[in-house]
Structure 1
Amino acid sequence: MLRKFFFLTLITSIPLYGQQEKKKVDKKETEIKEVIVTATKTKKNLKNVPITVQVITSEDIKKSQSTDFKTFLENEFSGINFTYNGGSPNINMMGFGGKYVLFLMNGERMAGETFDNIDYERIDIDNIERIEIIKGASSSLYGSNAIGGVINIITKDSKSPLDINAGYLYDSSRDHKANLSIGTKQKWGSLSLASFYKMRTPYIIKDRVPTLEKQTDPFGNEIITEKYNELNVAGFINYGFNPKLTFNLSPKIDIALTPGFYFSERNGGDPSSQKVRDHYYNYNIGLKTNFKFNENQNLSISGAFDRYDKFKYYKLLKEDEKVYENQIWRISSQYNHNIFNKHSVVAGGEIFYDKLLNSKFKNEKTGNRENAKIYSVFTQQEWAINPALTLVTGARMDYHSFFKQYFTFRLGGMYKFEDIMTIRAGYSGGFRSPTIKELYFNWFHPWGGGFQIMGNKNLKPETSDNFNLSVDFNLKKLNLTFITQYSSIKDKINTDAIVKDTIRYVNLKGYTNVLSSEVSAMYRLNKNFHFKGSYSYYDIGKKNSENRPHTLTFKAEFIPTAKYYFPSVIISGKYLSGKNWYNDSDPEKYTFLAPYSIWRLQLASKLPLGFTLTGGINNIFDYTADKVGLYSSVDIGRTFYLGLKWNFNKKVQDTDYN
C-alpha cells in the first residue's frame, strides 16, 4: 500500500514541472478570488492556508443551478459520491463514509439521522454564502468524526439596507422548489430570514436487464424465468426557516444569533406509505460572541443546540409515535493571537453532549435512551518562517465519558514557489469514538431474509495515522491541483456475523488502509469559455466496498458578454467506473456493477429588473441502471426543468442604470 502511495505521488507530480512558466503571471486573470476561510480556526486568505482546503462560493453554487446540497456536491466533485441504503443517501468522500466526515453549519456540529449521515435536505442551498471542504484528517482541531475531512457550511449575511431574493423551479418529474429570503444591514448589525420549500414525487425504478432464475417443475424439467427487480425511491415535502441576527455592540464586541427550523414528510412510495409516513423535525440555535482586544488578539465564546426528531405518522389515526431523537449541545471558547504576523496561536476548549433516543435500543436500565459527554482542549500554532515557508502544529485532548482521554497531533507545512506553485504536506493523527448506535444498537432487520443487528459495549475507539500531500499550480490560464492522502486506521469498527442471522459491531484486527488521489484542473480559454475537470481514485484495501474506484467530472462553461437575454450555457457530466460486488457467503460469486455516466445541460439568461430565467436537461442521455440496487444509480432518467429567480438589488441596479 505504501508503495502505491509513493508511486501515485510521483506520477501526479512529474508532469507538473514541465508545465511551469517562468514569465510573470497575470494575477487579474488567473488568481482565484480570495475568500476568508476558517480551516485553521483563524481567518486567512485562501492562498495562505497551510492545510488542504477547497472553498466554494455562492456564485459557484448559483451557476450550478443545483436544487439541493447533496446534488451539488455529487455533481461538482469527483471525490464525493453518494449511495443509497435504507432509502437514505450515504456520502463517500475520498474513500470515507459518513461516520468519518464531519459536517458543520456555521462552525457547529449538526444532529444526524440513523444511517450515519446528516439529513442533507435540511440544508438550504440558496442560503449558502460559501462551503469550506477540508481535505484529510482534522481531529487535532475538530475531534472525533473528522478523520475523512470536514465540510463547513457558512450561511449568508445581509450586505445592503434591503436584500430580497426569491426563486421557483419546476421539474418535469413533478418536483417543485421555492425559496424566499429577506434581510437588512444597518449600523447596529444585520437581520435576515431565509426560507425554502421543496417537494419530490416518489417514483419507482426497475431493472432494464432481467435476472434469470432456474427452477424445476414437478416433472423434473428445468425452467428459466425472468425476474425484474424494482426499487421505490421516496418522495418528500420539506420546508425550513433560518433567521440570522447579528449585533455590533461596540467596535470590539459583536454577537451572532442563528436559530433554525426544518420539517420533512417522507413518502416511501410503496403501498404502506398510504397509511404511515415518516415525519422529521429539526430545531437548532447558535449564539456566538466575539471580543476583539486589538488587531492581533480576540476571544470567542459560543454555544449551540441542535435537535433532530423522527416520528411515525399514522395518517388514518392522525397520530404520531416518536422513534428517534438526537440532541447535541456544545459550549466552546477560543482565543486567537497573531504575533508580529509571523506566529499565530489558537487555543480553546469545548464541552460536547450527545443524547440519543432510538426505538432500536433495548437497555434494561435506560430503556431506549443513551448519552455521551466529551470534554476537549486544543491548540494550533502557525509559524511563517519566511514569505515562502509556513509550518503548522496542533494538539488536542478529548476526554470521553466512556473511553477516557485520547490525544491527537498535527504537523504540516506549506511552501510557495512565488505565485506559480504551492506545496502542502503533513501528518495528522485521527480519532473516532464509537457512536452511541454502535454501542447500544439492538434491532431485527426484517428485509433480506431477516437478521439481528447488535451493538457492542466493548468497542474501542478507532485511531489512525494520516498523511497528505497536495500541489497547486497557478499558471496563466490553467489551475491544477493534485492531492494524495493515505490513512492507516487501527481498530476500525465494522459489522461481522457472530452467529447465523446475527451481526454485531466489532473492532477489526490490525490496520485498515485507505489510499485516495485526486486531480483537478480549470482552464480559461478566454473571458467567455471555461473548462473544468477532475479525476479521483480510491483504494480501501478490501473487496466489498460501496466505493467505485475511479470517478471523473467534466464541465464546459460559456459566459456571454451581453448583459441581457443571451444565455450562459453549461454542459457537465460525471463518470463512475464499474466494480465487482462479492457475495459475503460465497467469495467466488459476485455481481458486476456496470460503469455509467450522467450528463446535464444548463441555461441561464439574465433579464431586466433583476430577473434570471433558468432551464435545462438533467440526465441528457436518459441513463437508468441495468440492475437496480443499493449501489446503483437511482436516477429517474431524463428530465427537463424551468426556473425563475429575482434579486431586488439587481433590480435597483438595473433601474439606476436605465
Structure 2
Amino acid sequence: MHTRHHCARLLACAAFLTLVSAPHLAYTQDASDPSEKTDRVTVLKKITVKAPKKGVANTPLAAETTAEQIDDEQISSFTDLGRSLEPGVNFNRTNGSVNIRGLEGPRVQTTIDGIPIPYLDDGARDADGGIDSFDFNELSSVDIVRGADSSRAGDGALGGAVVLNTLQPEDLIGDDKSWGGIFKFAYDSEDRSWSTTAAVATRFDNTAVLFQGGYKKGHETETNGDNDAYGAGRTEANPADFDQNNFLVKVKQYTETGHTFTLTGERFDRNKDVDLRTEQSVGGNYRPGDWDGLDDVQRDRISLNYEFEAVDDDALFDNANAVIYWQDLTRDSGKDGYRYTSVIGDYSRLSEVENRSFGGAGYIEKEIESGAFSHTLRAGGDFTIGKTTQYSSGKDSCAPVPSGPFDPCNFLHTNQADMPDVDSRKLGLYLEDEIAFGSSGFSLTPGLRYDWYDQSPEETAAYTENPNYDGMPPGQSDDAFSPKLLAKYQAAEDVELFAQWAMAFRSPTANELYLDYGAPGTYLRLGNENLKPETSNAFEVGAKLGDEDFGGRVTTFYNRYRNFIDTVAVPGFDPSYPMGITQTVNLDRVRIYGVELSGYKRFDNGFHINGSLTYADGKNLDATTENDKLGSVAPLKGVLGAGYATEIWGTDVTLIASKAVPSKSDASFKPAGYGIVDLTGWWKPEQAEGLTLRAGIYNVFDKTYYDAINVRDVNLATSVPGKEYYSEPGRTFKISLTQRF
C-alpha cells in the first residue's frame, strides 16, 4: 500500500489561510465603522459569482449538476452521479470509463477546466481508465453534454462530453467578505471509506487565492454476496485498501477592464491494493495470503486560464476564453505474489500507461446587429502535443529465452512494451454563427469544425524486446470536417424547442493502432495501423420546459456511426498462435436511438416530486448473428422521487428501476430488471450557522441486482467467482457533515 499523510498538510493549509485572511476580514469590518482609521480600509472589487455557460456546455444538449447538488446527493463518484441525478450517465467499473447513450471509453470526452483528460487503455493488461482522476469535492459544477456537438467538443465526443469545472475563489467568498471556506467530513459504508476535504479562499483588492485539498481512505466496494471462500464460488468482493489524495491551488487576478488570469496547479492520486482471493486456492498456483494486485492512478497539471468579459461596447470581442496547460496522467495495474505449481517462484507484473501532454484551447465571441437579424459569432480551437507510453515490468523464474512454443513462460512475457511510444499531435478549429430572427424567438446556428491528427510511433528498446517485433509500424495522419446545424425556438418564456443535426469525429487511439501483445505458441492481440477514424451523424429533437418550480425536458435522438472501432477474432487458424488472434477493425455501420424524459414540481407547502426516464436501443447493423443489440447500451431506466423540505430540514425517497437486458444483446451476461429504493435526509441546525448534516440509506430493502454496463463481458459459464460476486452493493448508508464559513 502506498500510504499518504496529507491530512496534517491539509489542516495546516486551512489554518494558514485563515490567519492570512484575518487581516483582510478586519479591513472589511473597519470599512463599516467610520470611527476607525480610514487609511487601513481596502475597498474590495465586487466579483460576479456565476457567468452564463460558455464553450462546450453552452448548448441545449447539456445538463448542469451544481456543487450544491453534489453535496445534497452525497456524490463522490460517477456511479453516484448516474444513480438518480443523471440516470442516462453510467460508469463502467471494468474499464474505468463513462458511458453516455451506449458509448464509452475514448468516445466520451472528459475535460476539467477546459483541459481534456485522456482515456488510457493498454489493450491487454487492464491498466485502463484514468478519466476519474479528480475529487468531486473540488468541483463547482459538472455539465453533461448528451450527444455530439461537433463544433465545440471536437475529436472524441461521439457519445457526448463530461465538462468538469473546479472551484473558483468566488464560489467560497460571499458578498462583502474577503475570505470564505468549507470543511467536509463523510463516511460511506459501501466501501467503508471516510473522507475529509477543506477549501479556503481569500482575496485582497483584485487578487484572490484558493486552496483545496482532500483525503479519502477506504476498502473494497461491497457486493451483495456472502461467500468469503477462496477461489471458485466466492461471492464477496476481494478485500482491498485504498488511499486517495487531491490538492488544488489557484491564484486569480481580476482587472477593471474585464480581463481575468488564473494560474492553477492540481495533483490527484489514488493507490489501491487488492487481496486477489478469487484467484487463490489451497492447492492452486496462487495460495491464500500470497497473491495481491494493485490499481493506481495519478494526474498532475499546471494551467494558465484567460477570461475576458467586455465592459463597454467598444471592445473588439464581447467575451473570450483561453487556457494553456501541461498535464501528466499515469495508470498502473499489477500483481505480485508467489507461484507454487507453474513456473514456481516469486512473480510480479506491473503495467504502466502514461500520457504527457501540452496544449491549449480557447474561443472568442462577438454579437453583431444586422437589420432584422442579430449574429453571435463564435470562433475557437484547440491543440494538443502529447506522448503515450506503455511498459510492462516484472519478475519470474523463467529463463531469458523460452525453451519451446508450449513452454508456460511463453504466457509470461514481460519487461517489454506492447506498443511503441507514440507521439501525437491534434488540432481543431471551429466557427459558428447563431442567427436570431428579430424578436421571433427563433434562431439558427450553422457551424463547421475542422480536426486534424497525427500519430507517430517511436522505436524504443522496450518495444524491440517484444517477441512479435518485426520492424516499426507506419504513422497515421488524417483529418475531417464536421458540420452542424442547430435550430432553437423560444415558444414562450419558459418553453424552448430545439433540433440539431451534427457530424462528429474520433481518431483512433495509440493502443488501437499499435498494440502487439502475445507470443508465438500462445495467442496474439493486435492493433491495426490501417484503422479509419470513426464518424457519426447525430440527430436531436427536444424541448426544455418550465422554471425552477415546475418543468422538465424531453429529447429524442437518432445516431448513425461509420467505421466503428471494435475488437474481433481473426478468422482462420494460425499455427504460430494456436489460441487465436484478435485485432481491432472498423465496423461499417452501427446505430443508436432513444428518448430521455425528465420532470419536476415543487409545491408551496414544501413537498416536491421528480421523475426521469431514459431509453436507448443500439444495434450493430453488420451483425451476422441474432445477438445484434449492443451490450454497451444500458436498458430502460426510470427514476421517481418525492420529498419534503423546510428551511432547516428535508427528506426524500427515490425509486430507481431498470428493465432487463434484451435477449438479443451481444452482452455475455444479461441480468434481469430490478427496482431499488433510496431514503435520504438533511438538517441545518439554526444554532450552528453554515452547518449541514446529511444522511442516506441506499437500497433500503437490500435488493440483489446487477448493473448491466459493469457485467456485460462476464461469462457466467466460465467465471470462477459465483454470480453474486458481480452484484451491486446491498443496503448501505452515507453520512456527511459540511461546515461553511
Q: How does 1:36-115 map to 2 (within 5 A)?
A: 36-39=52-55, 51-85=60-94, 88-114=95-121
Q: Distance in 1 between matches of 2:632 and 2:739?
A: 41
Q: Please say if 1:237 is aligned against 2:311.
A: no
Match in the other structure for 1:407: 481
Q: Distance in 1 between matches of 2:100 and 2:305?
A: 30
Q: Distance in 2 between matches of 1:50 and 1:333?
A: 17
Displacement of 1:227 after TM fit?
Answer: 5.4
Contact map agreement 2:306 2:323 (CA 8 A) in 1: yes
Q: Please say if 1:392 is aligned against 2:445.
A: yes
- AA aligned opposite 1:517: V
CA 568–283 in structure 1, closer or farther in 2 if over 3 Å, else same? same
Q: Distance in 1 between matches of 2:236 and 2:498?
A: 47
Q: Please say if 1:328 is aligned against 2:364.
A: no
Q: Distance in 2 between matches of 1:453 and 1:418?
A: 56
CA 34–302 in structure 1, closer or farther in 2 if over 3 Å, else same? closer
CA 598–285 in structure 1, closer or farther in 2 if over 3 Å, else same? farther
Contact map agreement 1:67 1:177 (CA 8 A) in 2: no
Match in the other structure for 2:385: 353
Q: Distance in 2 between matches of 1:512 and 1:309?
A: 32
Match in the other structure for 1:503: 582
TM-score, normalized by length of structure 1?
A: 0.80
Displacement of 1:103 after TM fit?
Answer: 1.0
Displacement of 1:459 after TM fit?
Answer: 0.3
Contact map agreement 1:111 1:307 (CA 8 A) in 2: no
Match in the other structure for 1:638: 731
- State the Cα deviation string for residues 586-632 of structure 1 (Å, max 9, x = none): x9xx7541112332211211121322222221221112248997249
TM-score, normalized by length of structure 2?
A: 0.71
Q: Distance in 2 between matches of 1:456 and 1:412?
A: 36
Aligned pair count reads 577
Q: Please say if 1:552 is aligned against 2:638.
A: yes
Decide which of 518, 539, 543 is 2:617's aligned counterpart: 539
When Rg is computed on C-alpha atoms for both structures, the one with the higher figure is 2
3-state SS of the aligned residue for 2:689?
helix
Q: Which region of structure 1 is more displaced relative to structure 2, 406-415 or 473-482? A: 473-482
Match in the other structure for 2:140: 129
Q: Please say if 1:176 is aligned against 2:269.
A: no
Displacement of 1:137 after TM fit?
Answer: 0.7
Contact map agreement 1:309 1:322 (CA 8 A) in 2: no
Q: How does 1:161-172 map to 2 (within 5 A)?
A: 161-172=178-189
Q: Distance in 1 between matches of 2:652 and 2:327?
A: 38
Q: Distance in 1 between matches of 2:240 and 2:503?
A: 39
**Alignment gaps of 5+ in structure 2:** 1-48, 278-288, 338-345, 393-412, 455-475, 572-578, 620-627, 713-723
Displacement of 1:468 after TM fit?
Answer: 0.5
Q: Please say if 1:611 is aligned against 2:691.
A: yes
Displacement of 1:476 after TM fit?
Answer: 9.6
Q: Distance in 2 between matches of 1:365 and 1:36?
A: 46
Over aligned residue pairs, what C-alpha RMSD do you find? 3.4
- AA aligned opposite 1:278: D
Q: How does 1:429-578 map to 2 (within 5 A)?
A: 429-444=503-518, 452-474=524-546, 478-499=550-571, 501-509=580-588, 511-526=589-604, 528-541=606-619, 542-561=628-647, 563=648, 567-578=649-660
Displacement of 1:443 after TM fit?
Answer: 2.8
Contact map agreement 1:69 1:123 (CA 8 A) in 2: no
Contact map agreement 1:194 1:241 (CA 8 A) in 2: yes
Q: Distance in 2 between matches of 1:583 and 1:63?
A: 36
Q: Please say if 1:285 is aligned against 2:302.
A: yes
Match in the other structure for 1:18: none
Displacement of 1:397 after TM fit?
Answer: 1.0
Displacement of 1:246 after TM fit?
Answer: 0.9
Contact map agreement 2:602 2:608 (CA 8 A) in 1: yes
Contact map agreement 2:139 2:167 (CA 8 A) in 1: yes
Q: Distance in 2 between matches of 1:197 and 1:382?
A: 44
Contact map agreement 2:106 2:119 (CA 8 A) in 1: no
Displacement of 1:422 after TM fit?
Answer: 1.4
Match in the other structure for 1:302: 323
Contact map agreement 1:207 1:625 (CA 8 A) in 2: no
3-state SS of the aligned residue for 2:93?
strand
Q: Please say if 1:377 is aligned against 2:429.
A: yes
* Matched-pair identity in %: 21
Contact map agreement 2:639 2:654 (CA 8 A) in 1: yes
- AA aligned opposite 2:355: N
Contact map agreement 2:642 2:653 (CA 8 A) in 1: yes
Q: Please say if 1:148 is aligned against 2:159.
A: yes
3-state SS of the aligned residue for 2:168?
coil
Match in the other structure for 2:204: 186
